[in-house]
């Protein structure tokens, strides 16, 4: 069982989440740092509209509850790519940890970067800006 520390800055959220989910299903521990610097492709207005619809869905007392912090949104996206209601998916989700910034315990460790394939040439919004506009922290 290997522990992978992934730097999410300037990485596309969906691509990063799919690779993290696949590694978690293989049995590796996944630590994602700098989640607030991850980006979502598409026009910011449209992306905000989609996330506002997710927040307004359901009953405020019974859910579904959608997170408003960058690390919560990232973990929720990863959860959507796992069979989290089955035992294998539950164990895989427990192996994933997401942090907004770089914790002290991982400062001197080597970070994994998925390379230049994630560089965008279109409009995008960072997770931190999206969460601020959704009313989160």
- The domain ranges of the chain are 3-134
What is the reported pTM?
Answer: 0.90
pLDDT, tens digit (0-9, with 9 covering 90-100), for 77-121: 999 999 999 999 999 999 999 999 999 898 888 888 765 566 678
Q: What is the pLDDT of residue 47?
A: 94
Using alpha carbons, select from 38, 16, 66, 50 the residue that is nearest to residue 124. Answer: 38
What gap in Å lies between CA 11 and CA 14, rounded to an integer? 9
Q: What is the pLDDT of residue 112?
A: 80
Minimum mean pLDDT range among 34-38, 108-112, 127-131: 108-112
What gap in Å lies between CA 36 and CA 74, rounded to an integer? 9
Strand order in the sheet with 29-33: 3-7, 29-33, 96-98
Into which CATH architecture does domain 3-134 fall?
A: Alpha-Beta Complex (3.90)
Q: What is the DSSP letter of 110?
A: P
Q: What is the pLDDT of residue 40?
A: 93
């Amino acid at each position: 069982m290997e522990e992978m520390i992934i730097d999410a800055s300037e990485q596309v959220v969906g691509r990063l989440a799919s690779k993290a989910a696949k590694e978690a299903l293989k049995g590796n521990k996944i630590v994602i740092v700098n989640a607030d610097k991850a980006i979502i492709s598409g026009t910011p207005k449209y992306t905000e509209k989609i996330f506002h619809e997710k927040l307004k869905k359901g009953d405020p007392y019974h859910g579904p509850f959608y997170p408003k912090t960058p690390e919560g949104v990232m973990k929720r996206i990863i959860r959507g790519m796992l069979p989290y209601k089955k035992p294998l998916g539950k164990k895989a989700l427990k192996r994933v940890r997401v942090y907004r910034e770089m914790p002290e315990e991982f400062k001197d460790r080597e970070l994994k970067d998925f390379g230049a394939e994630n560089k965008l040439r279109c409009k995008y919004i960072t997770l931190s800006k999206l969460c601020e506009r959704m009313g989160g922290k």
